Homo-oligomer: A and B are copies of this chain.
Amino acid sequence: MLYNLIAKLDKKLNFPVVKAHCDIPCKIYDPISAQIAALTMIRLVDLLNELKAKPSLTLDEQAQFLRLVNQKEQHGLKVKEEITIIWGDYIKTPQLTQYPELHDLVHGIMLASSQVKQYISREAALTLLQQVNRFAEIFWATKKVTTFTAVCPYPPAETLVYPKLQA
């Protein structure tokens, strides 16, 4: 019932902006922030696994442990935030028509971020990075910018999708 009302309102209002490629202000979108956050989660999991390898933890190491878990939490929120900004502000009908997988991919990134926040699992963190990389790949394609993959120049030395830039 309510939904019908929305449908009617949509017809009546017929916002042209919702279908446009770009709102003013045309924000500068770049998936690199989400990619770095996902990368950082892998790195934090690696450091947490170093602590897990020890037979027991001193109080100082426990303090370090909780700082790492807190940072993992923060970067999980950052992945979610950066991806939903691009999805909710930039992705519109044309991009969705071209890449119908986008809704599922973004939703999957939300769930995967929660996973990496809740567990100390390198595989979960790697899966998240790959989903974020896939998002970057699509994003640049919708901008008609070619991409390539390269190992990032810092630990944990994982592969990222980068835009090919004109020197």
Contacts and interface: CB of A to CB of B under 8 A. Distances in A.
Contacts of A127: 6, 9-10, 13
A6 B131 contact: yes
A44 to B, nearest CB: 7
A69 to B, nearest CB: 5
A119 B60 contact: yes
Nearest to A54: B59
A48 B64 CA distance: 14
Interface in A1-52: 2-3, 5-6, 9-10, 13, 15, 17-18, 23-30, 32-33, 36, 39-40, 43-44, 47-48, 51-52
B130 A6 contact: yes
B40 A27 contact: yes
Contacts of A98: none
B123 A9 contact: yes
A3 B134 contact: yes
A71 B155 CA distance: 28
A151 B165 contact: yes
Contacts of A107: 87-88, 91, 103
Interface of A: 2-3, 5-6, 9-10, 13, 15, 17-18, 23-30, 32-33, 36, 39-40, 43-44, 47-48, 51-52, 59-60, 62-71, 73, 80, 84, 87-89, 91-92, 103-104, 107, 110-115, 117-120, 123-124, 126-127, 130-131, 133-134, 137, 140, 143, 145, 148-155, 161-163, 165-167
